[in-house]
Amino acid sequence: MSYTKKDFIYEGKAKQVYTTEDPNLVIVYYKDDATAFNAQKRGTVADKGEMNNKISTLIFNYLIEKGIQTHYIETLNEREQLVKKVDIIPIEMVVRNYVAGSMAQRLGLEEGAKSPVTIFDICYKKDELGDPLINDHHAVLLGAATYDELKLMYAMTDKINAALIDLFMKANLILIDFKIEFGKDSEGNIILADEISPDTCRLWDKDTLKKLDKDRFRRDLGEVSEAYHEVYNRLQQALKK
């Protein structure tokens, strides 16, 4: 059975979501639009949608092989993926292996130091509030997740982090930090959803420490599209090894 986009459901900052012939499946369309700083900075990055679709595809397939339950079903074309429809849990799960970004600012630390422990930050996914940093108790208060659900999400995230560190290392990239989202499928299972790409990960070249991720857009570093192409090419090579 081949699936096609039916009704438009949602337009986010980087993707659009459409219904399909099957009520339990949706099509995600990856755009070239880029935003940063809670959408105060806007632009487009040539080929970003195509690259993120391809990079996410490689990563979802890799994680599925490692036993992670995900929403991913199949890549339909250069910009679209068929995925299981989920009710997104309104929590952004951020993992930090190195100090960078908002944590460096908040704690007055220099970017680039390796953290002796894996740091898990959770943010409440609410654009109007600017996705504030919360803790487990806030998540329960907000009805975003139960303590048991959080425990499962942390365990899955830890496994995902270990697998991704390995994969990116094979591509000569350091996984500095990243954000993932989980959702509940039609049977109530908590599965990995959304995307994993240079929009949602900080990736530094292992030798030169060159940034190969969305920070090139956020910080006007130039060669943004080139960085996304580079990550895709390196992952393709790494997965052949």
Chain contacts with ligand ADP (rule: CB under 6 A): 10, 12-15, 17, 26, 71, 83-86, 88, 181, 183, 193-194
The nearer residue to ligand ADP, 87 or 223, going by C-beta atoms, is: 87
Tokens of 232: 């895709």
The listed partner (ligand ADP, ligand UDP, none) that binds 102, CB under 5 to 8 Å by sort, is ligand UDP
User: Which among 144, 50, 38, 41 is positioned nearest to 89, based on CA atoms?
Assistant: 144
* Dist CA 40 CA 97 (whole Å): 27
Q: Does 195 bind ligand UDP (CB under 6 A)?
A: no
**Is 70 exposed, middle or buried, given 0-12, 13-18 or 19+ CB atoms closer than 10 A?**
buried
Q: Does 201 bind ligand UDP (CB under 6 A)?
A: yes
Minimum distance from residue 85 beta carbon to ligand UDP (Å): 21
The nearer residue to ligand ADP, 63 or 171, going by C-beta atoms, is: 63
- Give how many residues touch ligand UDP by CB under 6 A: 14
The listed partner (ligand UDP, ligand ADP, none) that binds 216, CB under 5 to 8 Å by sort, is none
**26 forms bridges with which residues in the sheet?**
19, 83
The listed partner (ligand UDP, ligand ADP, none) that binds 48, CB under 5 to 8 Å by sort, is none
77-136 residues near ligand UDP, rule: CB under 6 A: 92, 94, 100-103, 131
Minimum distance from residue 108 beta carbon to ligand ADP (Å): 28
* Dist CA 99 CA 229 (whole Å): 25
Tokens of 122: 């959770």
Q: Annotate 136-159 with b (16+ C-beta within 10 A) or e (fewer).
A: beebeeeebbeeebbeebeebbee
The listed partner (ligand UDP, ligand ADP, none) that binds 17, CB under 5 to 8 Å by sort, is ligand ADP
